[in-house]
Structure 1
């Protein structure tokens, strides 16, 4: 299937490792013009070495408003515009509510939610000028149900809600907004890989009890869904956040 992504200008936040890097790789294979941003120059350089010199990289912290503006402007200066934004930056912190500081809750909101809101507003302003564009927000199945840490659950729930609200606001201006909610995904830099190494019996038991597919998801499976959702083949998907989880979620709607 030709997804029509050739020469599309794609910016991926948190794109230097894990799922973000996998998304970048697949967009590049589809012929898109891809840029990624991340906090560390070292991991950005490693991603560029792995994926090829055509990959454009920008160092910056999307939790900071001044960095968000600079990241987008550097991307636009390099490529001449933006067609697709993938808000992938995110992370988990804290523990039980009473063991988690308010600073940790605020950090999670800034990383998992407000960074995506800020990048979306900036990108949408550019997309409206050309009367087209797509914004995809990577949330989590735990934004719909309990399962992750409270800081993570709450901030990802906010992102799912924002996705629907912003989608309804922007679609009449040619900007399509949607989301992807991964389940548990195994990759070298992720928490599941670390836990599997530390306590393999416990994690394998978790898989058997919680994932009907009886395995973790892969980066490639998430990336495959993202590039479809970013393409015109998904043009009628507006405001929805799609679970990609091997049946892990308990939600039936």
Structure 2
């Protein structure tokens, strides 16, 4: 039997990169998947590619109303949700002194507040489903320091994961965080940063960036019943960087 047979999942930021890789693997493993993103063109293209078990819903993850719409649409089309992957996020690499208040609040809203809103919106649906799994995508910078703004929010994701895991355990809902290192996605390998990232990759113990699918395999495990005794934990996929 497929590893996610009967599962109904919401994956945010799934129009490209890691989110799209997660969606493809989830569909292959038998799930029905609601793909969300602000990029309608790419999101609809991914949903079309994945077929009748995929649905695209345009979403701003920082608004409570959009979350309510996504969960309601998922229930209407597929049924109660039992997997949420909070994948949407942005990076920022400015110094503390250069970062404006507006920029800081934006990254907090997208990387941190969206995770709170997503869990709050989906838990009642998971209660209907009599259980579920929430996978919050953090970063290795939720374990070790990186840029101001990005690091702060990724540590926060790690913290809210633990708090939510304790609160949700009696609902049969598990909550875990995934901490990727340098992943070969469009957000990371942009023309203005590509050379810098490739140079940095030489110093990773495994000597390369990860493919998005390598993160997806871990997310799949946490979404499935195979990880039934894991909650409130960090799962690191960084090629050994945080072990240095």
Q: TM tier, shorter chain?
A: over 0.9
Tell me how far 1:51 sits from its aligned partner: 2.6
SS of 1:178's partner is: strand
Tell me how far 1:52 sits from its aligned partner: 2.8
Cα distance in 2 for partners of 1:194, 1:186 equals: 13
1:3 and 1:233 in contact (8 A); partners too: no
TM-score by length of 1: 0.91
**Cα RMSD between the aligned structures?**
1.6
SS of 1:20's partner is: helix
* Cα 1:94/1:203, change in 2 over 3 Å: closer
SS of 2:48's partner is: helix
Alignment-derived partner of residue 191 in structure 2? 194
Cα distance in 2 for partners of 1:134, 1:59 equals: 22
Cα distance in 1 for partners of 2:157, 2:64 equals: 17
Cα distance in 1 for partners of 2:230, 2:182 equals: 23
Alignment-derived partner of residue 221 in structure 1? 214
Q: Which structure dedicates a bigger proportion of its chain to helix?
A: 1
Structure 2: which 5+ runs fail to align? Answer: none
Cα distance in 2 for partners of 1:62, 1:112 equals: 9
* Cα 1:137/1:6, change in 2 over 3 Å: same
Alignment-derived partner of residue 156 in structure 2? 158
Alignment-derived partner of residue 242 in structure 1? 235
* Cα 1:203/1:14, change in 2 over 3 Å: closer
Tell me how far 1:208 sits from its aligned partner: 2.0
Tell me how far 1:53 sits from its aligned partner: 4.2
Alignment-derived partner of residue 177 in structure 1? 175
Cα distance in 2 for partners of 1:159, 1:87 equals: 10
Cα distance in 2 for partners of 1:162, 1:146 equals: 18
Q: Trace 1:18-57 onto structure 2 (pairs within 5 A).
A: 18-57=17-56
Alignment-derived partner of residue 205 in structure 2? 212
2:181 and 2:241 in contact (8 A); partners too: yes
Tell me how far 1:72 sits from its aligned partner: 1.3
Cα distance in 2 for partners of 1:77, 1:18 equals: 27
TM-score by length of 2: 0.94
Cα distance in 2 for partners of 1:50, 1:177 equals: 29
Cα distance in 2 for partners of 1:235, 1:3 equals: 16
* Cα 1:3/1:228, change in 2 over 3 Å: farther
